[in-house]
Structure 1
Amino acid sequence: MPPIVIALSAALCAAAAASLIGRARRIAASDSPWLRPWVAGLLGAVGGASAAAVTEHWAVTAALCALAIGCALLVPVDQAVLRLPDAIVWPTTGAVLAMLLVAAGVTGEWGRLGTAVLAMLAVGAGYFVLAFISPTSLGLGDVKLSLVLGLTLGWFGWPAVLLGVLGGFLVFALAALGLLVARRTTMQAELPFGPWMILGAALGLAWVTVGG
């Protein structure tokens, strides 16, 4: 996308995320410093710019912008209260799916949509199994978030799915190790996984669309 579109996407996502963080604060029932408009706005700006930078069609850009706004709310909420609320996850998933349906209809790339839906189901099933095996490590919120991340990554192909999912576990492990070394956490402490799932998906997508 042209630089002007990237800048516009960043501005719109930042404004949307900042305006919605009040609702996210009420959903989370927390007044944590994480739940401030500038935090959500900054995350939204980065996500919106990245969405436009890795896409070539307006409908796909809109889908990734919807995901960026949702993630700009989910990251601070998870950091604040260790939850990924349905009231944010499901509308984000619906918006992304709706825009990918539009993208498939406009471009005729129904095969990409089919791959996206299959990836959503596969990634969600994988996370569900992991959560069933180790419920203390993964929660149902993580499982639900994995659906929309798998859907988005699937539009860009199976390599993006693989790199995006594995990337989430890798960056989480590195971050947890860094916090342990710095004595900022303990082995018994709970750490939010959602932000690292999102970062891993972003890195995997960037690798496939830009670096690959």
Structure 2
Amino acid sequence: MILTAVVCGALAAALTGWIRTIADSDSRWLRSGLHVGLAAAGGAGAAALADTGSVGTVPELIAFAALAVACGLLVPIDLAVHRLPDLVVVPMYPILFAALAGASAVTGDWGALGRAAAAALTLLALYFTLAFINPSGLGLGDVKLAGVLGVFLGWLGWYYVLVGTLAAFAINAVVALLLLAARRANRRTGIAFGPAMIAGAAAAAWLSTAG
């Protein structure tokens, strides 16, 4: 667990200059080292999840750790510029599917991979519909990230897809209320939704280990 956390944190640190370039920003969110801490924490969680999950294979750990690094990068970028760059999000689809296919090949549990694909399509459709209805509330970056998180949550199970999705909206609502109460935002202020989506998925993953 410690080794995975260190590797994920080190990789995120090495990408510090790159995320500033793709975000085209020197925001304090990108200079704070938040991405390093998040990637390291996610790496520890990835190791715990792979150890306690039904598979516990090296390919599964690789998938979870790669997602941890990507999410660690995406949170401060979204907070800084309200964007979820394709350069970070889109490559996660082949990475996750390739690694999880390897895990399925080791265990013979191809149903989990099919469920992950179905969950990704379900969340892509859901978020695309929401973005179409309210484009000011959700962007296409959120839609693409939803598919990635759908792969991850679907691998864990449909229950965790539901929990992670509902948790994302609940977390975002709480953040919005706190910002309104602190007078740091108004009803027209845009709030980055990516961090809430990632936090919701993390909460669902934690629940899966607790169960």
TM-score, length-scaled by structure 1: 0.94
Which of 26, 29, 36 is the matching residue for 2:31? Answer: 36
Query: What is residue 20 of structure 2 aligned with on the other side?
Result: 25
Cα distance, 1:120 vs. partner?
Answer: 0.4
Query: What is residue 123 of structure 2 aligned with on the other side?
Result: 123
Cα distance, 1:153 vs. partner?
Answer: 0.3
CA distance in 1, matches of 2:78, 2:35: 12
Unaligned regions of 5+ residues in structure 2, if any? none
- Deviation string 1:175-198 (CA, Å, 9 cap, x unpaired) is 111111111111111110000000
Identity value in percent: 50
Superposition misfits of 4+ residues, deviation over 6 angstroms = none
- Deviation string 1:137-178 (CA, Å, 9 cap, x unpaired) is 110000000011000000011001000111100011011111
CA distance in 1, matches of 2:119, 2:16: 29
Query: What is residue 168 of structure 1 aligned with on the other side?
Result: 168
Q: Which amino acid aligns with 1:203?
A: A
Report the secondary structure of 1:208's partner residue.
helix
TM-score, length-scaled by structure 2: 0.95
Q: How many residue pairs were aligned?
A: 206
CA distance in 2, matches of 1:96, 1:33: 30
CA distance in 2, matches of 1:63, 1:36: 27
Q: CA RMSD in A?
A: 1.1
- Deviation string 1:100-157 (CA, Å, 9 cap, x unpaired) is 1111111111000000000000011000011111111110000000011000000011
Q: Which amino acid aligns with 1:146?
A: A
Cα distance, 1:38 vs. partner?
Answer: 2.2
- Aligned ranges for residues 143-154 of structure 1 at < 5 Å? 143-154=143-154
- Deviation string 1:27-80 (CA, Å, 9 cap, x unpaired) is 111011111372221111111011111222222111110000001111110011
CA distance in 2, matches of 1:25, 1:188: 27
CA distance in 1, matches of 2:109, 2:7: 27
Query: What is residue 189 of structure 1 aligned with on the other side?
Result: 189
Q: Which amino acid aligns with 1:8?
A: L
